[in-house]
Amino acid sequence: MKLLSQTIKDLQALSSQVPKNIGSDRLATLNLLAHWIAHQPTTAPANVMIICTHNSRRSHLGQIWLQAAAWNCNLEHVQTWSGGTEGTAFYPGAVNALRSQGVDIIASDDSVNPIYRVQLQTDHAPFETMSTRYSHPMNPQHGFAAVMVCEEANEACPVVEGAAARFGLPCIDPKVSDGTPEESQVYQQRSLEIGAEMFFAMMKARELRASLQSTE
């Protein structure tokens, strides 16, 4: 877990640069996501589903780093998921990027679309993720926040059935590097970029919750 601890420290540092590195519209969307999470009751899971077209790269990176950020910020009620407009498979390049950054992630078998077990912290149980359509029975069916991380899914799903809130945060697809010498570097960089924004949102949500509690 030492490598993961260092990556989390790096993501916390990178998150402080997020407001300077993104446009005002994107920053506003991250703040709205933080606001939604901060206002969810802690008596039930606050489910957040990261959605892209094939649920193979960006959505998984977003799901895993958002969960890491939530637990790191003591937002224990936040539970993260991922889905697509269709299911395919968790792309090996994305899996390898997470592993290179310290995430303990293990495939259940060698099938085309395996379930992966993800262990982020020793004091939290591992959770499972795989490539599915967002409406798959293993995912929450209502009351969740939908975070759209690709334009294709954003356009294909103007309405995400069951979602209580919807946030558009399209990211550049690392797929453009597949099969090139730069693939590993591109996936690691995209992982950090997505992770930094997830940490920014959760740190902002923690700040907002503290402010709300102080006025109660």
Query: How distant, in Å, are the alpha carbons of 4, 11, 17, 37, 183 from that of 189?
Result: 15, 11, 15, 26, 10
Q: How far apart are CA 38 and CA 59, in angstroms?
A: 22
Q: Is 159 helix (H, G, I), strand (E, B) or coil?
A: coil
Query: How distant, in Å, are the alpha carbons of 36, 82, 97, 188, 214 from that of 65?
Result: 18, 11, 12, 13, 28
Mean model confidence pLDDT for the chain? 94
- DSSP tag of 52: E
What angle do the packed helices 183-214 and 24-38 form, to 10 degrees?
50
Q: What percent of the chain has pLDDT over 70?
A: 97
CB-side neighbour CA atoms (13 Å) of 155: 3
Residue 153: predicted pLDDT: 63
Confidence of residue 211 (pLDDT cuts 50, 70, 90): confident
Residue 170: predicted pLDDT: 94
Total number of domains in the chain: 1
The mean pLDDT of 64-89, rounded to a whole number, is: 96
73: exposed, middle or buried (C-beta count within 10 Å: 0-12, 13-18, 19+)?
buried
Query: How distant, in Å, are the alpha carbons of 21, 52, 80, 111 from that of 25?
Result: 12, 20, 23, 40
**Beta-carbon count within 10 A of 33 CB:** 24
Query: How distant, in Å, are the alpha carbons of 78, 94, 115, 147, 178 from that of 175?
Result: 29, 9, 21, 19, 5
Using one digit for the tens of pLDDT, what is the confidence trace for 114-147? 999 999 988 899 999 999 999 999 999 999 999 9
Domain that holds residue 92: 2-214
Residue 214: predicted pLDDT: 75
pLDDT over 90 (residue 105) = yes
Confidence of residue 37 (pLDDT cuts 50, 70, 90): very high
pLDDT over 80 (residue 154) = no
Name the residue among 48, 44, 31 with its Cα closest to residue 77: 44
Q: How far apart are CA 99 and CA 93, in angstroms?
A: 10
pLDDT over 70 (residue 216) = no
Q: What are phi and psi of 53, to 5 degrees?
A: -60, -55
The mean pLDDT of 30-54, rounded to a whole number, is: 96
Q: Can you give the CATH number for the domain in which 57 is found?
A: 3.40.50.2300
Residue 215: predicted pLDDT: 72
- β-bridge pairing 144-148 and 104-107: unpaired
